Structure 1
Amino acid sequence: MELYKGQTNPGRRIKKSSGNNIFRAALISGGVIAFLAFLSFMGYFFFLLGTLPKVDRLADYRPPIVSQVFGADGSLVGEFYLERRTVVPVDKVPKKLIQAFVAAEDANFYQHKGIDYLGIVRAAFKNLISMRKKEGASTITQQVAKSMLLTPEKKYSRKLKEAILAKRMEERLSKDEILYIYLNQIYLGAGSYGVQLAAETYFAKNVENLNLAEMAMLAGLPKAPNTYSPIKHLEKAKERQSYVLERMVKEGYITQAEADHAKNTPVLIRSLKKVNSEQSAYFLEQVRIQLEEKYGEDRLYKEGLKIYTTMNAEMQKAAYEGVVNGLKAVDKRQGFRGPIKYLSEAEIGDFCKHVEDSIDLPSLKEGATYQGVVTAVNPGKSEVTVRVGDRTGILNRKNMAWAGKLNLLATYGKPERKGKTLNPGSVIEVSVVTPDVNKNGTIFALDQEPEAQAALIAMDPQTGGVRAMIGGYDFKKSQFNRAMQAKRNPGSAFKPIIYAAAIDKGMSPATLIDDSPAEYESGKEQAWKPKNYDNIYRGPVTMREALTNSINVVSVKILESIGVNTAIEYGKKLGISSPLAANLTLALGSSSLTPMELTSAYAVFASGGFRVTPYFVTKVVDREGNILEETSPPPLPVFSSTTSALNLAMQDVKNNNSAASSPTAVPVISPETAYIMTNLMQSVVTSGTGQRARALGRPVAGKTGTTNDMKDAWFIGYVPQLVAGVWVGYDQERSLGAGGSGGQAAAPIWTEFMQRGLAGVSVTNFPVPGNVTFALINPRTGRLAREGSEGSVTECFIPGTEPTSYDGDATNAGDEIN
């Protein structure tokens, strides 16, 4: 084969030319793609610039702050918030605390302009070496931008926005202004936002009173507030504290000697007395509903309102503990239901970890109830070892005696006799008799969450101010407020309303009624035959004896005498708004009422004849100190024996009309009728079904109530300064069982509450209206008795209703109902 002249290797030349063209085309294509990518990035960048929030609004930093709820004595009783925060000016924050945060979070804070480029390189290098994200590079300014202006989503677009906003913030705000926002905005664990609330939460101090050791511990929290929580993980918190102190030394903020001294300074973890929202939950929820409707969610949860209420904090605590103790007593009478569930040995660790995370205290609280798991059984000593979270203690025979004889097994697994057996893996409720020391040595008592529920409402009968309210056993499990929402049959607790109507109709405590069997047409095949609770019929008895012993048949005959419609109208006059049965069963409390309704009706007797409007809030003040609303209690007139009490009362109320939002006091019955009823109900306490209330050792009026099969138990009672009502029962109606009557289930709760709630309140007699008369009578006949007559008693009367004949007279002028 011959080559043309001048041609060496035409095939190779052609190949080389083709390679150059491909490279050139690729280079051009790459350039076009890069240019388009750059244009896309710039387009996206400018799009982001247009969507970023305004930085200027940070100059007027108004973070969400806690709205506080105060009791009648000015004590803090509750809080409403989205973020629990108290704002503190930056000039009140100690310099060393600021330096601690800067050293730990952003050493170049005072040098950079929003972005620490050197820090980014350093963090990237460390993360590359460790092959994991070990260190971040966000500046304090970037953290503020993310917290205040952006969402926490983990996207590159958010990081880009964060960087842009940080640069803008540095241009518009001073370093102190940025620190002011940061130190008040940052989350520091245990529900605390900002350094002031964190100082209170962990050390029970204001931020300006912190020592260096405490400052360093707070500054170590932003990295991982839960991991370094001094409440839950003190050793880890100290390790982080040491790191912060060494960073402060490196930055020249403190000396090594100062750092070493701080490391060796004991840190006492203690909180300012926290608001116990658990014991006040139902009261606070009622306040929340009322104010949220009026002011809206944002204002209530973010604007730091000061809300002043009618609550008496000590009474509220007594109400909560009285209900808890009372329900446990009712429940334990029904016996031990057995462990909640059984765990295998492998499941115990996870269960205890979950319990541990829910305990936000350095030690278990005396008297508190927790879920624990049995980890060991010692049948010989009749005791078991119980673990609650990471704490361990002993449950001995004495502290589980109420459960009767229990079978103690040393093996895991669900036993055949579930209700009477404890073995390893048994999950039970225990209360703390003696708290733990170093997470060991707790003495427990076997406990059990009650299945029954209760409600308690207490109010000032003179003003209507609600002093305490409990709507159930556990608000976290049921927000249904039984004090205001549950309508249940009051049973005999309704009888005082019938008797009061009868007093107004001219009857008297000495009126005789025949306690004998009776039957009434009921519209059914069989006639209705009311029966007495004890199935005993006593013959003629006075109204006083009938109410004292809660005699059913007599109550029905009184209602028949005055008329059902009269009683219904009377109930409405006392403030009852629920429908009332238009038949004779009304005398036995067959119409469902709320505890609030019935307690308010009794308040009319306690106040001397006035119906007051129950209320919860006395004043609301905004964060600037402006009063948004204020409620004044209604004035009650002072009666004299020479003035028509009812007319005077009406005139005084007319002359002292409060604002439309204020509670009102309306005279609805005469002071004489109110006093007669009070006097009658004092007998219920001294010698009738409400004798448990005698333990108060002061004048008390009240009435028990028990419905058929003991499905509902009531006690409503009062002293001159306070009226309270208690209901006990199951949400799904069933018998309370042994000890489920009003006197056994409800009256003990009422008595415990009043004993504690009235501590320090003066003992006062019920005032007697000037024109009430007193006469000596024979309680067996209802007639007047002569001085020295055997068995005679002094009785009270409204003038004109007292008997006019004596024992032995030929005629009896007294009333008698057959």
Structure 2
Amino acid sequence: MKWFKRITIALFSLALLGIGAIAAAYFYVLPDLPDVTTLKTVKLQTPLRIYSADGKLISQFGEKRRIPVEYEQVPQQLINAVLDTEDARFFEHKGIDPIGIIRAAVILATTGKKSQGASTITQQVARGFFLSREKTYIRKIKEIFLALKIEQALSKKEILTLYLNRSFLGNRAYGVGAAAQVYYGKELEELTLPEMAMIAGLPQAPSAANPIRNPARAMNRRNWVLSRMLEKENITPDEYQEAIRAPITAKYHGAEVELYAPYISEMARDYLVEKLGEEEAYTGGYNVYTTVDSRLQMLAQEALRNNVYAYDERHGYRGATKVLWDAEGTAKLDETQIVTQLKQTQGFQGLEPAAVLEVAEQSVKVINAKGETLTLEWEGLKWARKFISNKRQGKAPKTAGEILKAGEQVWIRNNGNIWQLSQIPEVASAIVSLDPKDGAIRTLVGGYSFHTSQYNRVTQAKRQLGSNIKPFIYTGALEKGYTLATLINNAPINNADIRQGTAWRPKNSPDKYTGPTRLRVGLAQSINVMSVRAMRYTGLESAIDTLVKFGFDRDDLPQNESLALGSPSVTPLQVVTAFSVFANGGYRVEPYFIDHIDNAYEQTVEEASPTLACKPELIQPQTLPTDDPFAAMAQELPKHEVANQEVEGLEVASQEANAEDPSCPSTARHAPQIISKQTAFLITEALKSVIWGGGDWSKGTGWNGTAWRAARVVNRHDIAGKTGTTNESKDTWFSGFTPTLATTVWVGFDDHSIELGRTAWNTNGAKDQISGAEAGAKTAGPGWNEFMKNALQGTPELPSPPPEGIVSARIDLATGKLSRKTDYTTKFEYFIQGTEPKEFATEAQTQEDIFIDDSVEDLFQ
């Protein structure tokens, strides 16, 4: 009995001592224990994502890849795999596992090593959120007490959800959602059993033992996880055998970018970083939805690339990028050596590096970086006459040997159904489109390749505007009393503008002068001296004021008459915004590219407030005709019964008196109306003549506008546009629109001193090839034509009815006066009411309409 009492007292004393030690340890670490209730509102670091307007991922920014998931979204077998591996008694213990602690203590006592952590999932959550990973006793004590507190504050599902989302699983993947994407490119519900087991085994050594870095070690770990699942009877023996035989299929999958639009994504990233700072922007889980339409954006990128390639190739081939071996001297490399060399050059924009293996009469064999042997037929080679300068090209080649030699490293691209020789273009370009109704940017391509230059030419490049300025000059003239029928003298200007400092005497291009010519024709054919005389009519300061109204910076506008021919330097975004004024009836909308921003909880934290191209007006109730037999019946009905009710095919008006137009709510922001709807309509009509020309070709009076190619390619009558070329062809433009889409294309060199030059006729080229001096219609125009043709495909043409206050009158084409004739020498012209001609043309005044049959745009077209 004595010994029993002593043992009992000793055990009791040890128990008290243990309790005291635990209490002492608790109160010792208590001041350092954080508030675990913060886990209820924990903000997981989630990357910034940029999307198109239709929800396609454009880009992702941030060090950590995380796709937060709810507990219910995780497959049960993945949960089983994690628990069987990390904490089989998770749903039974209260945050710590005494059995595991005893096991770890025994290992420590017998081996002296802390190889067994004995940490439950709750403890791992505590360590992951609040503690470091250092193996110290004090950290372990804190971890235990935090785990107990976490179990009191959160449910088991909440704890496990935090663990599944927080764990680092290698290759910048945090959480099982991101791991499924990074390793397998799948959603969680798409994972197979072996793939789930692989992910479940990653927390132990995510960097060293993941299936990409160490497949053998990862497979061993996966199979051990599967054995634990078999032991816990969560899978059958047959499932186990099938799973362990499965090969390693993991490979790195980047973010699932569905739309490559780097310039717009960089704009969105810059905006959020400036607004929130880098850390918050990159980790706050924000989703930025831009206004870009994915279909239109891809069409714009393709049109820009094709147009740049076309310019580059008609100016000639600049030669191989390097020589890998000398076909006549150095021994040829073997295939492995060639592929190794080619892999050192990264392909982009559809261009692939390749080495020339054999040269036949009119074909060559090449090998690409994948080790594939391809044949370039003559169709893909014959364009490559020698580049001498931007103004000179060599003779058209007749054999492949005149172009390439074995051993040369070159660029190739797949052009439709053929592989062809290519090269990296040196010329630059930009394209931007917006919705004229509210300024939403639908496409934005700041250059040929973000890979070669991150310079965004849409927003950053200020280039001379050329004849793209003329619609705005003529707008000022219309507001001062001119009409589309007004005759302006198309004759040389001899009284020079002394403000130039030199004798500045503008010339036409071509250098032809046809006397008094109607304003519509002068704008359509981009006649320089007429633009200068129109500006003289309005006055230089008035012209500058008009341009400022359209959104151009006053500081960029020179105080001399070169303004009329487009000497100001402006950005493509300013240009397309200005042209949208004509498309929307006279309103200057503000361009914007972010529709809304959501936070990590899918709550909208910022939303665009665009300027609408409209004026809020009250809709008056529909007045029923007095002789309508159903009118009395409708008037007697209560208003709520009248709404949308059809009586024998008659739809009774549903709007009550003074109802608001839903398309233009008074609560919205409204764009300022800077010109009248009537003026916008008249300029648009003239810009349609830029494309469709005028006159009667069967009578010999037909004439082309400078953009006649657009009529052939786009072939719609609701398009309007203007070409633009600066002196020496350093900048070329095409800007145009429909009622729903305004687009500007610019082509030039980043180096302002380099001319776009000219090309000689290529005997190997197509019949419709472009040759001669580069200009807006020939250099920028094809890009606009291709884009707008594809962008508008399948959409009906939209009529442009004259607004109130517009009248039409038949005029004599030669004089612009009223005419009683109805033949080809006359036409109906639009006028703002009160400005139509009052006099009739006499027989003596009538003559054939003046026209220019061939449009050559060398200077300010």
Per-residue displacement from partner, 1:752-784 (whole Å, max 9, x unpaired)?
222233344432022311221112222222222
Paired residue for 1:615?
592
Q: Distance in 2 between matches of 1:143 and 1:724?
A: 56
Distance 1:790 1:420 in 2: 54
TM-score, normalising length: structure 2: 0.72
Letter in 1 for 2:515: G
The residue aligned with 1:496 is 471
1:576 aligns with 2:582: no
Distance of 2:419 and 2:117 partners within structure 1 = 46
Deviations 1:304-351 (A, max 9, x none): 234343222222222222222222222222222233334575975655
Within the alignment, does 1:637 sit opposite 2:656 as a pair? no
- Of 691, 695, 714 in structure 2, the residue corresponding to residue 696 of structure 1 is 714
Paired position in structure 1 for 2:633: none
Shift of 1:665: 0.8
Aligned residue for 1:587? 564
What are the Cα deviations for residues 531-556 of structure 1, in whole angstroms up to 9, with x where unaligned? 11212222221111111111111111
Q: Report deviation, 1:630.
A: 2.9
Deviation sequence 1:706-746 (CA, Å, 0-9, x none): 11221111111000111111111111121223363211221
Cα displacement string for residues 617-675 of structure 1 (whole angstroms, at most 9, x for unaligned residues): 333333345443333444513899x9xxxxxxxx999x96657xxx5411111111000
One-letter amino acid of the counterpart of residue 235, structure 2: I
Q: Is the 8 A contact 1:470 1:483 kept in 2?
A: yes
Preserved CA contact (<8 Å) 1:68 1:307: yes
* Cα deviations by residue, 1:562-589 (Å, 9 ceiling, x for unpaired): 2111110001111212521111100110
Distance 1:609 1:199, change over 3 A: same
Shift in CA distance, 523/434, structure 1 to aligned 2, threshold 3 Å: closer
TM-fit CA distance, 1:191: 5.7
Distance 1:606 1:422, change over 3 A: same
Residue of structure 1 equivalent to 2:783: 749
Who is 2:391 aligned against?
none
Q: Which residue of 463, 477, 484 maps to 2:459?
A: 484
Q: In the TM superposition, what whole-angstrom CA distance separates every residue of 1:222-277 from its partner, at most 9, and x where no partner exists?
A: 656799667x9999987875565456446754333102333567999899996547
Q: Assess, with a 3 A threshold, how the Cα gap between structure 1 residues 476 and 168 changes in structure 2: closer, same or farther.
A: farther
The Cα offsets for residues 488-547 of structure 1, whole Å up to 9 and x where unpaired, read as: 001000110001111111111111122222131445785212111212222221111111
CA contact (8 A) 2:734 2:744 kept: yes
SS in 2 for 1:614: coil
Q: Distance in 1 between matches of 2:405 and 2:100?
A: 64
1:337 to 314, 318, 326: 318
The alpha-carbon distance between structure 1 residues 625 and 214, as it changes in their structure 2 partners (threshold 3 A), is closer
Give 1:96 shift.
Answer: 2.3
Instruction: Tell me if structure 1 keeps the 8 A contact 2:181–2:187.
Output: yes
SS at match of 1:666: coil
Task: State the alpha-carbon separation in 2 of the partners of residues 234 and 633 from structure 1.
Answer: 53
Contact 1:606 / 1:674 at 8 angstroms: preserved in 2? yes
AA at the equivalent of 2:777: G
Q: Does 1:677 align with 2:683?
A: yes
Task: Within 5 Å, give how 1:326-405 maps onto structure 2.
Answer: 326-343=307-324, 345=333, 351=341, 369-374=350-355, 376-377=357-358, 379=360, 382-388=363-369, 390-398=370-378, 400-401=380-381, 404=384
Structure 2 residue corresponding to 1:460, chosen from 417, 435, 452: 435
Aligned to 2:583: 606
Equivalent residue of 1:668, what SS? coil
Q: Call closer, same or farther: CA 1:672–1:59 in 2, change over 3 Å.
A: closer
The CA distance in 1 between the partners of 2:260 and 2:794, in whole Å, is: 21
Query: 1:61/1:637 Cα in 2 relative to 1: closer, same or farther (>3 Å)?
Result: closer
8 Å CA contact retained: 2:57, 2:257: no
Q: In the alignment, which residue of structure 2 is the partner of 1:14?
A: none
Q: Give yes or no for contact 2:122–2:150 (8 Å, CA) kept in 1.
A: no
Q: How many residues align?
A: 715
Cα shift readout 1:118-163 (whole Å, capped 9, x = no counterpart): 99999999x9xxxxxxx999997898678656789xxxx6888976
The 5 A counterparts of 1:176-325 are 179-188=160-169, 192-200=173-181, 205-219=186-200, 223=205, 245-246=226-227, 248-249=229-230, 253-262=234-243, 276=257, 279-325=260-306
**Contact 1:142/1:163, CA 8 A, preserved across alignment:** no
Secondary structure of residue in 1 paired with 2:318: coil
Q: Measured at CA, do residues 652 and 327 of structure 1 come closer, stay the same or move farther in structure 2, by a change above 3 Å? A: same
Match of 2:748 in 1: 729
Measure how far apart 1:404 and its partner are: 2.4
* Cα 1:309/1:664, change in 2 over 3 Å: farther
User: Offset at 1:802?
Assistant: 2.2
CA distance in 2, matches of 1:788, 1:233: 86
Kept in 2: contact 1:378–1:384 (CA 8 A): yes
1:666 pairs, out of 672, 685, 690, with 672
Unpaired runs of 5+ residues, structure 2, are 1-24, 91-96, 326-332, 387-399, 621-659, 694-704, 759-769, 851-861
Which range moved further: 571-580 or 183-192?
Answer: 183-192
In structure 2, C-alpha distance between the alignment counterparts of 1:189 and 1:792, rounded to whole Å: 77
Residues 448-457 or 136-145, more deviating: 136-145
Corresponding residue of 1:714: 733
Q: Report the secondary structure of 2:733's partner residue.
A: strand
Note if contact 1:279-1:320 (Cα within 8 Å) is conserved in structure 2.
no
Residue aligning to 1:41 = none
Contact 1:67 1:300 in 2 (8 A): yes
- How far apart, in 2, do the equivalents of 1:281 and 1:473 lie? 11
How far the C-alpha of 1:448 sits from its partner, in A, is 2.3
Q: TM-score, normalised by structure 1?
A: 0.75
Partner of residue 833 from structure 2, selected from 795, 799, 808: 799
One-letter amino acid matched to 1:676: L
- Separation in 2 of the partners of 1:217 and 1:765? 61
- Residue of structure 2 in register with 1:506 after alignment: 481
Paired AA for residue 374 in structure 2: I
Letter in 2 for 1:582: Q
Give me the whole-angstrom Cα distance separating, in 2, the residues matched to 1:430 and 1:226: 39
CA distance in structure 1 between the partners assigned to 2:117 and 2:725 by the alignment: 67
Q: Distance in 2 between matches of 1:314 and 1:140?
A: 46
CA 1:171–1:613 in structure 2 vs 1: closer, same or farther (change >3 Å)? same
CA offset at residue 400 of structure 1?
A: 3.7
Partner residue, 1:429: 411
Structure 1 residues 513, 160: CA separation in 2 closer, same or farther (over 3 Å shift)? farther
CA distance in structure 2 between the partners assigned to 1:786 and 1:122 by the alignment: 117
2:581–2:680 CA contact under 8 A, matched in 1: yes
**CA distance in 2: counterparts of 1:352 and 1:121, whole angstroms:** 59
- Aligned partner of 1:765 in structure 2 is 799
Range moving further from structure 2, 306-315 or 181-190 = 181-190
Letter paired with 2:683? M
**Aligned pairs (5 A) from 1:442-453:** 444-453=419-428
Distance 2:127 2:422 in 1: 47
Distance 2:263 2:72 in 1: 39
Instruction: Quote the sequence identity (%).
Output: 34
Indicate if the aligned counterparts of 1:716 and 1:724 stay in contact, CA closer than 8 A. Answer: yes
Distance 1:118 1:353 in 2: 55
Q: Which moved more, 1:449-458 or 1:484-493?
A: 449-458
Greater mean deviation of Cα atoms: 803-812 or 697-706: 803-812
